[in-house]
């Protein structure tokens, strides 16, 4: 009899979890508290309890070629960066193609997940669910938790003296949907992550100026990167990642600062991170610098006090007659259906082996998917997590001892602190390519660059120098997909098709390439790779 697996949630991670279970001959049952798939990416007019919420205008920060599932490319007519409705269209295509919906029980809330009495020998779980006020219990051989980390909003009002006196409207960005109701109002956005910057820019079209308060600042990146290409297709290559990690941290950060300031000087815009000596994840916004320089958005330092209608900032300035305060102060994650003896969260940090498996379980039969924050897409990362977890459940992948798990967790914590610091918001950070390769090595699907150079040089060059797309992890090993090679080699064709709606004839000057210098450069890099990588 196939092992039964409970999948909690049918968003990005949940859909791939169902599919990976089926690939391994497991029997998945997915519990979804809402009435549809999509999780974070499904826009609704009203905020739903227990589910992530987005505003109507949300667009992806990662390119379609980087964020698709590894054996199901996005339609080539899709734009490179997708509105949330397009993501939902893709999810529906994926679910239909692999026949996933029949494994999902909608409008079903998971109340608790508990170890069975004989867990030490069976590794089984009792899952109690509720539908229409009636509870039901079932036994499962394994559990995949796919609830994400954008559900429980973080709103530290105690950190803002005087907020109780404020007579205007104030709320967390989770509850923002559209800008129309703020027409003509004076708005202050507190917190400058991706959501805070998006809201400030969007609101500045109906309510100018909008004040954007930031405690630490941030680097701003555009989706449109060098030569007009998607940022992540150039940033997340194996060569670039190898180069960044091979450098001393101080030099890597200096180069990053220099690159970030090429487009505009962040200090002149009041945006430069407070501590430039540590890596800080950039935020993605194509319009923020323009809205600032045109006077529609004004960047302010940290708020130190509120009054009935004003905000006083760290630099002593005061803005009067504020109508609305939107707190874009992030999220905390929790697992209310799990006992703390299984996963204990301290300072927004859980002790999970490879960001997935609880460290104190006698049997590795429960894993958390998608509880990470790479500088890259979540979709293929969660999928690779699911591929590994399902093979662990089947006993096909060797699982380390308790001591090895603890040592690995402590080692990763130290690396995390060195690279990203100890701020709460950095607790989920991972190095995108490094993490994917680590998981792929556990499965046996990590691309062998040396073998590729000997057997398929054309593909090898694209794998090492090109974008590290999800298809790289379908070239070899379990789950190998016959279409992976072609998907990798036609990656740039699909990217350019999304923007070339008017074909322009290129001149010979535009097409000319200094062939000899390029060849010398490639040969030098290849020698370096074989010697040091």
Q: Is 446 a domain residue?
A: no
**190: CATH:** 3.50.50.60
Q: According to the model, what pLDDT value does residue 531 have?
A: 46
286-304 pLDDT per residue, tens: 999 999 999 999 999 999 9
Last residue of a domain, one of 440, 468, 488: 440
| CA–CA dist 17, 148 (Å, integer) | 13
Last residue of a domain, one of 405, 440, 475: 440
Residue 335 has pLDDT above 80, yes or no: yes
Residues 145, 12 share a domain: yes
Query: What total number of domains does the chain contain?
Result: 2
User: What is the pTM for the complete model shown?
Assistant: 0.92
pLDDT band at 423; cut points 50, 70, 90: low
pLDDT band at 163; cut points 50, 70, 90: very high
- pLDDT averaged over the chain? 91
Cα 250 to chain centroid distance, Å, stands at 26
Q: According to the model, what pLDDT value does residue 430 have?
A: 87
Please check whether residue 154 is in contact with residue 332, taking contact to mean a CB–CB distance below 8 angstroms: yes
Residue 319 has pLDDT above 70, yes or no: yes
Domain range for residue 189? Answer: 152-222+263-331
Last residue of a domain, one of 311, 331, 351: 331
Q: Is 436 a domain residue?
A: yes
**Half-sphere exposure of 388 toward its Cβ, with a 13 Å CA cutoff?**
29
Residues 425, 339 share a domain: yes
Q: Please choose, from the candidates 231, 235, 234, 187, the residue with its C-alpha nearest in 3D space to the C-alpha of residue 211.
A: 187
Q: According to the model, what pLDDT value does residue 346 have?
A: 78
Q: Please choose, from the candidates 127, 486, 27, 194, the residue with its C-alpha nearest in 3D space to the C-alpha of residue 335.
A: 127
Residues 301, 165 share a domain: yes
10-20 pLDDT per residue, tens: 999 999 999 99
Q: Is 162 a domain residue?
A: yes
Full DSSP string of 282-307: -EE-SSHHHHHHTTSEEEE--EEEE-
Taking residues 348-369, what's their average pLDDT?
91
Residues 146, 161 share a domain: no
Please check whether residue 469 is in contact with residue 491, taking contact to mean a CB–CB distance below 8 angstroms: yes
| The dihedral sign for the CA sequence 197, 201, 204, 209 | positive
Residues 146, 30 share a domain: yes
């Amino acid at each position: 009899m196939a092992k039964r697996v409970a999948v909690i949630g049918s968003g990005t991670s949940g859909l791939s979890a169902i599919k990976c279970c089926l690939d391994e001959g497991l029997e998945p049952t997915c519990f979804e508290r809402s009435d549809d798939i999509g999780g974070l990416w499904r826009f609704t007019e009203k905020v739903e309890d227990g589910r992530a919420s987005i505003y109507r205008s949300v667009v992806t920060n990662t390119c379609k070629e980087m964020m698709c599932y590894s054996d199901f490319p996005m339609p080539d007519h899709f734009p490179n960066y997708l509105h949330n409705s397009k993501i939902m269209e893709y999810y529906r295509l994926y679910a239909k193609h692999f026949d996933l919906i029949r494994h999902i029980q909608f409008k079903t809330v998971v109340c608790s997940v508990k170890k069975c009495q004989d867990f030490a020998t069976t590794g089984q779980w009792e899952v109690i669910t509720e539908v229409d006020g009636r509870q039901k219990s079932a036994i499962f051989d394994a559990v995949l938790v796919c609830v994400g980390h954008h559900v429980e909003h973080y709103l530290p009002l105690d950190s803002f003296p005087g907020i109780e006196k404020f007579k205007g409207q104030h709320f967390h960005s989770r509850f923002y949907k559209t800008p129309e109701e703020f027409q003509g109002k004076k708005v202050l956005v507190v917190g400058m992550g991706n959501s805070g910057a998006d809201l400030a820019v969007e609101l500045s079209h109906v309510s100018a100026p909008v004040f954007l308060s930031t405690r630490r600042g941030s680097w701003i990146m555009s989706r449109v990167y060098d030569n007009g290409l998607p940022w992540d297709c150039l940033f997340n290559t194996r060569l670039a990642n190898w180069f960044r990690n091979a450098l001393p941290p101080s030099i890597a950060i200096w180069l990053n600062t220099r690159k970030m300031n090429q487009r505009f000087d962040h200090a002149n815009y009041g945006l430069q991170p407070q501590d430039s000596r540590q890596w800080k994840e950039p935020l993605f916004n194509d319009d923020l610098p323009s809205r600032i320089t045109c006077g529609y958005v004004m960047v302010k330092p940290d708020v130190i006090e509120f009054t009935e209608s004003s905000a006083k900032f760290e630099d002593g300035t005061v803005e009067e007659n504020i109508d609305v305060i939107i707190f874009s102060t992030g999220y905390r994650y929790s697992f209310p259906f799990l006992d703390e003896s299984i996963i204990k969260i301290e300072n927004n940090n859980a002790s999970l082996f490879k960001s997935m498996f609880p460290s104190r379980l006698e049997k590795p039969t429960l894993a958390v998917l998608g509880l990470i924050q790479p500088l890259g897409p979540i979709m293929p990362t969660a999928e690779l997590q699911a591929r590994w977890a399902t093979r662990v459940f089947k006993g096909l992948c060797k699982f380390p001892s308790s001591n090895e798990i603890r040592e690995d967790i402590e080692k990763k914590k130290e690396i995390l602190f060195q690279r990203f610091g100890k701020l709460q918001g950095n607790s989920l950070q991972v190095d995108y390519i490094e993490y994917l390769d680590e998981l792929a090595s556990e499965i046996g699907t990590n691309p062998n660059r040396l073998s590729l150079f000997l057997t398929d040089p054309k593909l090898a060059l694209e794998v090492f120098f090109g974008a590290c797309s999800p298809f790289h992890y379908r070239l070899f090993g379990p789950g190998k997909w016959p279409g992976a090679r072609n998907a990798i080699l036609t990656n740039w064709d699909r990217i350019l098709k999304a923007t070339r709606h008017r074909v322009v004839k290129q001149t010979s000057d535009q097409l000319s390439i200094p062939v000899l210098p390029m060849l010398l450069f490639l040969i030098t890099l290849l020698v370096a790779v074989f010697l040091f990588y």
